[in-house]
Amino acid sequence: MPDVRRLLALPTACAVMTGEAVLVLSPGSEPRALAPLDAAPVAIGWGEQRLLVATVDRVSVFTESGEHVADRPHDNTGVVAVSQIDSQLLVGRADGSISLLATGSAEPSQVARFSRASASAPQRMMTGPMGTLITGYSDGTLAMSDTRDGALLARAKLHGAVVHLLMEDDTLHAATDLGDELAWDLKVLSDDRC
């Protein structure tokens, strides 16, 4: 049995991060390891319809079926969570900080730093409606931040580590490893305003 460290639900498959590799599990087919990875994975994420695998100094980008698309450098500072907005990487670190990195050149540059919603490690990150970032932390904090300036817009506290985030229509669903759950109605963010 592999040492499973993270499980990530994709639209039609699952990604499993072990201590040495990332496996893609699709219905009706054998598990397959993603390649090429230059080192052991430290985080996996989903953003912009791409599977992201972080190692110590780069993020490898794959399609959901496991086809390698690109490699992007990151700044190698305790990465535990990763996502993507357009061509920019969202990098979450063990100290609870999150940065948005531009990756157009050989060296990533920080575009924005998000207000810290928790001192614990981010577990899940996803883009939300109307330019927002939704983050679930290991201490149960659920936060919504503005992607333009990193400002904290909303925050809630759940019991247990946030391990699941899902947007369904205008509702954000969050769940923890201890069975706590929350549904945020975000319709107000998508309504037309004067």
Task: Give the pLDDT band (50/70/90) at residue 194.
Answer: very low
Residue 36 CB-density burial (10 A; 0-12 exposed, 13-18 middle, 19+ buried): exposed
Nearest to residue 8, comparing CAs of 130, 154, 160, 136? 136
Summarize pLDDT for 141-187 with one digit per residue, the tens: 999 999 888 899 999 999 999 999 999 989 999 999 999 999 999 88
pTM of the model: 0.83
